[in-house]
């Protein structure tokens, strides 16, 4: 299958390589099942050290869930903001000690204590044997933040369909009683034991301590339906969580897709215009991960930074590293309502008619707190809730973005892969046509006294710049209709061009043609699309009517621009209304994402403006 629009024709060798990889990863269930066990090597996880030192061998049967195990021995004390990494077989435990007391040379270890200023108390670093510990004066309470991520988990045995797609999660047991030491599952109901189960591969927990803390990581027993080990990171911090996840929707928005590509953006990184330049100059801040829902590899790890990095089929980083990084084109942009900065992700090489999950992870920048001998606060990154998106079938719709004139257009438009083979040729064709049409409008606007004093202006609220801005937005939206696949069962789009052949020469069956015999369904919104693009049958998500109303409200009446009223027949084939509850996309507005998170996602304009009966068309509307 072809790759996406903007990167659809790389060198033949690259195409072959990408398709080979994608075929193995995502096309064949049998191939994926066979590939999974061998592709995850527990002895080579991108720099993770799996030698966990002093381990505990369980004395219970491998699949006995009612064991009473002994406490695991302490592996090592935790270092402030530096993760301890270890692997566990199912049923095993590992324990870490977070010390509160200040180490001293009087213990005969030959080490020194180094104090760190943390508001009213002290923290010391004990460098004995290369291991550092958190420390605090016994007279003070110390607030600590514990966090952990599962980087690797047992995988389902190929061909075993009885098992859940993800194994059970790890568990944290926390004790502050030195006489108990490292707690185990038999102590979980003790009043001094805190139990925290991992959720989707991550756990966060904070508390004030006055004694040393003992933290046990417990790997659950698994059935014979799974193979492999657990691998995790555990970190303690006196400033903030080293690993973090935000289980709230809306940080990543899906704009649109075609059969092989998708466009997503982060939410606005600021809504303060004074901060825009600084953020844009600061560069990209998110990593981006994708999971194919037909052959998922991230179930059970959705909240884990290292879990996403170790297991994602496709991921990209700002510095250009990652698995199949070349399929993701990341940029900073101010496109969209408000012109605020955001990070954009244009993904190519996807499978058609497939559901995906997209994840973004924010990693610390240079301004994070870092102390000598310690790690970076929040160095494990922040994982945000995933965003679902999907590709469509057919080749009549193609994604366009990053246009020069119609710079707000970021969605699929009617296309033809046989006529437009270059990466950007389709978008360029539309953009040039829109620019030419706008030039005609500028000539008409020259007849208006735009520089007249306020007493002679056509409006005290609007000026010619408002007219230019709203007209350009409307023009680009109707020149480039938002395209949906003909076979999509959409209640909010209308069939266009039904009588024309698809790019491959096939036509709709006679029964479909009979349904769409009306002129509005038998051709495109404007003749330019049929004559120059020839996309074949497709569906159009109609423009939002407030786009038209904005133009009439902003431009001089001398231009005689008007919109169809909602009660007129022409309205239903020209415009559509926004969903007042903002639960779904019912019409097209530049920058409007398909992801619905709140009423603030799009620019919702309520208007009771009544306009004349003439259509704002200039030859563009039926």
Distance CA 13, CA 124 (A): 56
Q: Where in the chain is the domain with CATH 2.60.120.380?
A: 76-105+139-242
Distance CA 258, CA 396 (A): 9
Query: Residue 229: what pLDDT?
Result: 96
Query: Residue 371: what pLDDT?
Result: 59
Q: Where in the chain is the domain with CATH 2.60.40.10?
A: 243-391
Containing 123, the helix (H) or strand (E) segment is strand 121-126
Give me the sign of the Cα torsion angle 556, 558, 560, 566: positive
Query: Residue 33: what pLDDT?
Result: 31
Any residues with CB less than 8 A from the CB of 4 and at least 6 apart, and which? 258, 260, 261, 262, 346, 347, 348, 349, 350, 399
For 420-486, strand residue ranges (E) read 482-484
188 exposure class (CB count in 10 Å sphere: 0-12, 13-18, 19+)? middle
Query: Residue 492: what pLDDT?
Result: 92
Determine the CATH number of domain 76-105+139-242. 2.60.120.380
**pLDDT under 50 in the chain at which residues?**
1-71, 102-138, 366-367, 599-615, 617-622
403 exposure class (CB count in 10 Å sphere: 0-12, 13-18, 19+)? buried
Global pTM reads: 0.78
The distance of Cα 451 from the centroid of its chain, to the nearest Å, equals: 46
Any residues with CB less than 8 A from the CB of 119 and at least 6 apart, and which? none
The CATH H-level superfamily of 243-391 is: Immunoglobulins (2.60.40.10)
- Going from the C-alpha of 484 to that of each of 177, 226, 319, 393, 415, the distances in angstroms are 62, 41, 34, 10, 11
Across the strands, what pairs with 150? Answer: 232
Asked if 128 contacts 105 with a C-beta cutoff of 8 angstroms, the reply is no
- Going from the C-alpha of 256 to that of each of 313, 413, 489, the distances in angstroms are 21, 10, 16
């Amino acid at each position: 299958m072809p790759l996406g629009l903007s990167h659809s024709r790389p060198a033949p060798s690259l195409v072959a390589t990408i398709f080979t990889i994608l075929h193995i990863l995502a096309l064949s269930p049998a191939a994926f099942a066979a590939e999974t066990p061998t592709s995850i090597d527990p002895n080579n996880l991108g720099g993770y050290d799996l030698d966990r030192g002093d381990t505990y061998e369980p004395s219970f049967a491998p699949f006995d869930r009612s064991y009473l195990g002994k406490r695991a021995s302490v592996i090592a004390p935790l270092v402030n903001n530096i993760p301890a990494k270890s692997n566990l077989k199912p049923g095993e435990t590992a324990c870490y000690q977070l010390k509160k007391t200040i180490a001293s040379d009087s213990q005969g270890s030959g080490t020194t204590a180094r104090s760190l200023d943390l508001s009213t108390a002290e923290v010391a670093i004990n460098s004995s044997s290369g291991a550092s510990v958190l420390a605090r004066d016994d007279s003070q309470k110390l607030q600590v933040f514990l966090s952990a991520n599962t980087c690797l988990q047992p995988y389902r045995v190929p061909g075993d369909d009885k098992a859940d797609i993800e194994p059970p999660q790890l568990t944290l047991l926390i004790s502050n009683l030195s006489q108990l030491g490292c707690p185990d599952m038999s102590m979980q109901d003790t009043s001094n034991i805190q139990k925290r189960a991992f959720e989707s591969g991550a756990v966060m927990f904070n508390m004030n301590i006055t004694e040393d803390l003992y933290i046990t990581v417990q790997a659950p027993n698994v059935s014979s339906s799974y193979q492999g080990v657990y691998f995790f990171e555990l970190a303690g911090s006196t400033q903030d969580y080293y690993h973090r996840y935000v289980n709230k929707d809306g940080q990543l928005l899906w704009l649109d897709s075609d059969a092989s590509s998708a466009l997503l953006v982060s939410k606005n990184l600021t809504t303060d215009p004074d901060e825009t330049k600084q953020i844009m100059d600061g560069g990209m801040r998110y990593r981006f991960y994708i999971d194919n829902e037909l052959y998922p590899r991230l179930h059970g790890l959705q909240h884990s930074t290292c879990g996403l990095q170790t297991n994602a089929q496709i991921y990209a980083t700002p510095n250009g590293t990652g698995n199949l990084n070349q399929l993701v084109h990341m940029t900073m942009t101010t496109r969209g309502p408000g012109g605020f900065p955001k990070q954009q992700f244009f993904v190519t090489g996807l499978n058609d008619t497939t559901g995906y999950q997209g994840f973004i992870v924010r990693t610390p920048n240079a301004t994070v707190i870092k102390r000598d001998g310690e790690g970076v606060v929040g160095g494990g990154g922040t994982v945000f809730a995933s965003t679902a998106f999907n590709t469509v079938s057919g080749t009549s719709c193609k994604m366009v973005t990053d246009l020069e004139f119609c710079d707000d257009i970021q969605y699929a438009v009617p296309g033809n892969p046989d006529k437009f083979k270059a990466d950007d040729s389709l978008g360029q064709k539309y953009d040039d046509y829109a620019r030419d049409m706008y030039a005609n409008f500028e000539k008409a606007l020259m007849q208006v006294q735009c520089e007249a004093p306020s007493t002679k202006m056509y409006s005290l609220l609007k000026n010619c710049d408002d007219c230019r801005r709203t007209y350009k937005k409307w023009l680009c939206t109707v020149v480039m209709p938002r395209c949906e696949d003909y076979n999509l069962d959409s209640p909010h789009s209308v069939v266009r061009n039904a009588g024309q052949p698809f790019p491959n020469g096939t036509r709709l069956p006679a029964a479909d043609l009979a349904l769409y015999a009306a002129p509005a369904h038998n051709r495109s919104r404007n003749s330019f699309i049929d004559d120059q693009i020839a996309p074949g049958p497709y569906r159009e998500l109609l423009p939002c009517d407030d786009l038209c109303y904005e133009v009439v409200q902003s431009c001089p009446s001398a231009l005689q621009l008007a919109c169809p009223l909602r009660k007129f027949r022409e309205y239903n084939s020209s415009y559509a209304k926004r969903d007042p509850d903002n639960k779904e996309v019912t019409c097209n507005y530049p920058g409007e994402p398909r992801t619905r998170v709140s009423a603030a996602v799009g620019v919702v304009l309520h208007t009771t403006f009544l306009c004349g009966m003439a259509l704002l068309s200039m030859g563009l509307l039926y």
